Amino acid sequence: MKLNGSDIFVECLKEQGVDTVFGFPGGAVLNIYDALYKARDEIRHVLTSHEQGAAHAADGYARATGKTGVCIATSGPGATNLVTGIATAYMDSVPMVAFTGQVATPLLGKDSFQEVDITGITMPITKHNFIVKDVTKLADTIRRAFAIACEGRPGPVLVDICKDVSAAFAEFESKPPKKPRSAPSGVSEKDIEQAAEAINNSKQPIILSGGGVSIAGASQEVLELSGKAGIPVATTLMGLGSFPGTHELFTGLVGMHGSRTSNMAVSEADLFIAIGARFSDRVISNVKKFAPNAEIMHIDIDPAEIGKNIVVRYPLTGNIKKILKALNAKVKKRDYSAWNKKIDEWKVSYPLKYIKDEVLRPHYIVERIYELTKGESIITTEVGQNQLWAAQFYKYTAPRQFISSGGLGTMGYGLGACIGAQMGRPDKKVINIAGDGSFRMNCTEIATAVEYKLPIIIAILNNGVLGMVRQWQDLFYEKRYSATSIDRGTDFVALAEAFGAKGIRVTKPDEVDAALTEALASEDTPVLIDFQIDKDDKVFPIVPPGAPIYELID
């Protein structure tokens, strides 16, 4: 049958099973939005307040559901407003397809109104991108974009569609989506046997479980390996939930804000098993002194990550789930050992702790959120101290439960991601733990949450400063607080109510439970809680820049 480009666009989304898209219209995508209007009973379009909010919402939707997120923007500033969200998804391996409108093909390269080279701009932050100048190539380009986004190591793909393409006609034949190509395996039977032998012979092994474990659906295999061989497990920030935070073998985060137990275990281990992690600088800190006594085993889908930041003795490249299944079959069962005893003693001696007094502490707030939700909520965060307190004091027991910008560290990420996660998982209560600095960057997305009657909770840990930057100024810059005070008198409760949400202010510890209970009871209205905390509360432990991870400040 013959369809115009906009109808082909919609039909291709249906082929891919897309039921929700996030976006903001404009001139170059008017034809596409007209087609979306006609298909409104089949595809839900979520109108955000800003294109960056659309990108973060598509990202949060993808992380919460495991599906590919979709966002749309017009040409020029609409497209460039997606860039931060695309880069965020790229750094954290999130499957997303971003569609942008472009000027008509005769106007390309002429500095036309709202023309930018968005494919050139996004080339370094996408797995691949396309510009479509021929309507006959539109359908196959969209199909390819979805395939690329979710195969292998996932990531964002951008499709730029010229306006005349969206209006032109072409023959269209519906096709079922292709199964993603499996990642090529660089692992032989001999590799598996050598890796299993290394695990069986190790006396003090430790596992680092990263975000790739959740992406691969390999949490059960990591749990089996850990339990069978009695190996303690630490996680990266992105790996939270990939191994149960309540498990007896869990040691906490590792790296700059890792637990003392995790960092000491890594530093004394004789075998370090990294699974679905990329050895970022926030994990290894001083590379020459990272895991100094250990041989390194690295299991990852992306061969480019093997040996990139640290020397690896046992590289295992390919599908993590398949590799772990093969490895588990050859690993020997191990009883509680002297190493396990030492780890348990460290956990008792060096727990995460904070001052418990009459002051409203962020650590306490996160603990109460955990208790009152019974650990079952999806938590999104902004970036900074709020992110780390949420990581440390909420126990994540399942993949896709902790949603945060890890690699890029994007302030303003959490609210959009919270909206996307709630729309993708309406069966869960989704809570955005935010700092006041990050929150105000994209606070207009409250209007989106109100319009779509989303019962999200926005828990602002409001200290009136850019908390993490101020913490570094305090610890490492002799208390020169340059441009970090943002106590501008903004009334976040009044702001929430101006948008049509519910606002609650909390200033004392004994007000926390009542506020959270009220917020958790909301079924169709966003609730913002302004928790007013002290500006000098800090995230501990912290490894000073350039120091080995065993030299922590508590």
* Residue 449 and residue 501 in contact, taking contact as beta carbons nearer than 8 Å: yes
Same domain, 385 and 527: yes
Rounded mean pLDDT, 344-362: 96
pLDDT of residue 180: 77
Same domain, 139 and 161: yes
| Domain C-terminal end among 142, 171, 200 | 171
Q: Read off the tokens for 182.
A: 């499996």
All residues at 6 or more sequence positions from 50 whose CB lies less than 8 Å from its CB, including other chains: 24, 81, 442, 444, 445
CA distance 211 to 209: 7
For the chain, the 3-state helix, strand and coil shares in percent, each to the nearest 5, are 40, 20, 40
Same domain, 301 and 331: yes
Does the pLDDT at position 182 exceed 80?
no
Specify if 547 maps to a domain: no
Same domain, 235 and 256: yes
Does the pLDDT at position 183 exceed 80?
no
pLDDT of residue 271: 98
Helix residue spans in 125-242 (DSSP H): 138-150, 163-167, 189-201, 211-216, 219-229
Specify if 19 maps to a domain: yes
Rounded mean pLDDT, 130-149: 98
Helix (H) or strand (E) holding 373: none
Same domain, 387 and 286: no
Q: How far apart are the first and last CA of the chain?
A: 67
Give the pLDDT band (50/70/90) at residue 360. very high
Same domain, 345 and 370: no
Same domain, 240 and 373: no
User: Is the previous residue joined to 541 through a cis bond, with omega within 30 degrees of 0?
Assistant: yes
Label residue 546 left, alpha or beta by phi (over 0 means left) and psi (-120 to 50 means alpha): left
Percent of the chain's residues with pLDDT above 90: 98
Same domain, 434 and 393: yes
Tens of pLDDT, residue by residue over 518-531, are 999 999 999 999 99
Across all residues in the chain, what is the average pLDDT?
97
Specify if 470 maps to a domain: yes
Residue type, 352: L
Domain limits for position 83: 2-171
CA distance 435 to 410: 12
Specify if 181 maps to a domain: no
Same domain, 108 and 225: no
* Sheet (strand 96-102) strand order: 44-47, 20-23, 69-73, 96-102, 156-162, 128-132
Catalytic residues: 51, 113-114, 163, 468
Q: Read off the tokens for 83.
A: 């860039």
Specify if 25 maps to a domain: yes
DSSP track, 186-213: ---HHHHHHHHHHHHH-SSEEEEE-HHH
* Residue 539 and residue 255 in contact, taking contact as beta carbons nearer than 8 Å: no
CATH number at residue 153: 3.40.50.970
Same domain, 273 and 158: no
pTM value > 0.95:
yes
Residue type, 473: Q
Tens of pLDDT, residue by residue over 485-505, are 999 999 999 999 999 999 999
Rounded mean pLDDT, 404-412: 98
CATH number at residue 202: 3.40.50.1220
CA distance 34 to 26: 11
Does the pLDDT at position 232 exceed 90?
yes
SS3 399: coil
Same domain, 102 and 230: no
Does the pLDDT at position 396 exceed 90?
yes
CA distance 303 to 286: 23
Same domain, 318 and 386: no
Helix (H) or strand (E) holding 268: helix 260-268
* Residue 553 and residue 542 in contact, taking contact as beta carbons nearer than 8 Å: yes
* Residue 212 and residue 301 in contact, taking contact as beta carbons nearer than 8 Å: yes
| Domain C-terminal end among 327, 349, 371 | 349
Specify if 204 maps to a domain: yes
pLDDT of residue 445: 98
pLDDT of residue 466: 98
Specify if 100 maps to a domain: yes
Handedness of CA 308, 314, 317, 322 (dihedral sign): negative
Tens of pLDDT, residue by residue over 68-118, are 999 999 999 999 999 999 999 999 999 999 999 999 999 999 999 999 999
Split into its structural domains, the chain has a count of 3
Tens of pLDDT, residue by residue over 19-72, are 999 999 999 999 999 999 999 999 999 999 999 999 999 999 999 999 999 999
| Domain C-terminal end among 287, 314, 349 | 349
Specify if 284 maps to a domain: yes
